[in-house]
Amino acid sequence: MTVPPVRTPASIALGLGALAVVPFVGGAVLVWVDTAWHPTIAQALSAYAAVVIAFIGALHWGLAFPQAAPAPRLFVWGVVPSLVAWIAVLLPPRFGLVVHAVTLVACYLVDRATYPAEQAAAWLPLRLRLTVVATLCCLVGAAGA
């Protein structure tokens, strides 16, 4: 079996990653605005966090696909974040957003342990930056929900 080339972030991924935090930042700010939209904004922030968490988990399936004999843990972990995020969306946003924040950190820690073995360690700095912003926004959103 040959080792795949080192996977590094494409410039488009950097730009899209930056755009991906806009709903986090917007939701975290807007949840503090006292309007009739407050419950909708808090729920929207929670739903967006769940979508992003599901995407992060699914990346592990993408790491496994090109391999002839992928480690089962890639597939198993790939679904765990989405299941946790689904439960968090069902909670009131003040609690669900905390669960999302913890899940985002857990996903990063798993990725930090997994990515080097999968030749994807070059993605970790971007993952860290996005995780910090998303996690803080979830916590700010929870505090304002």
Q: Answer yes or no: is 124 within a domain.
A: yes
pLDDT of residue 11: 87
- Counted domains in the chain: 1
Q: Answer yes or no: is 82 within a domain.
A: yes
Please state the rounded mean pLDDT for residues 59-78.
93
Evaluate if residue 141 carries a pLDDT over 90: yes
- Higher per-residue confidence, 64 vs 1: 64
Q: How far apart are CA 120 and CA 122, in angstroms?
A: 5
Q: How far apart are CA 143 and CA 97, in angstroms?
A: 9
pTM of structure: 0.92
Evaluate if residue 3 carries a pLDDT over 60: no
Please state the rounded mean pLDDT for residues 58-80.
93
Q: Answer yes or no: is 5 within a domain.
A: no
Instruction: State which residues form the domain around 110.
Output: 13-144
20-68 pLDDT per residue, tens:
999 999 999 999 997 889 999 999 999 999 999 999 999 999 999 988 9
Q: Answer yes or no: is 2 within a domain.
A: no
